[in-house]
Amino acid sequence: MDAKELSQLRRMKRELEKDRQHLEELEWDASAPPSLRQYCRISDEKSPGELAREITDLKTAITEKQLRCIREEKRLWLFISETDDSYWRLMLILRFVYGMPWEAVANEMHCTADAVRKSFCRKFKPP
């Protein structure tokens, strides 16, 4: 597994969060009374039926992305569990499962962010 594959779960979670925020906006717009339609985030040119379809489609997409995230997380845990060194397991879990920034990972591992990042880059060279 390379750095790009390890980062896949983090990217998927970010994308999922953006979809959830968009869904909230759509639901707010769909439930807004006519007097507030001018303040809607989504164009008021969309009919209630179009908004309802878009909401339904987005909910389906979110469910599919959640399932992909679960599969990716299982794959990541399997890779991590096969890693012999506890230092690397901890680093991989903190960074790629919990999504912590390098600075927070370094604090947990009692070293500098630069040292952790460089160590990771040496072991998992980007393609």
Q: What is the pLDDT of residues 16-25, one digit of tens each?
A: 999 999 999 8
The C-alpha atoms of residue 25 and residue 41 are separated, in whole angstroms, by: 7
Nearest by Cα to 72 from 21, 10, 26: 10
Helices (H) and strands (E) counted in the chain, each on its own, are 5, 0
Least confident of 2-6, 31-35, 49-53, 100-104: 31-35
pLDDT confidence bin for 43, thresholds 50/70/90? low
**pTM of this structure:** 0.76
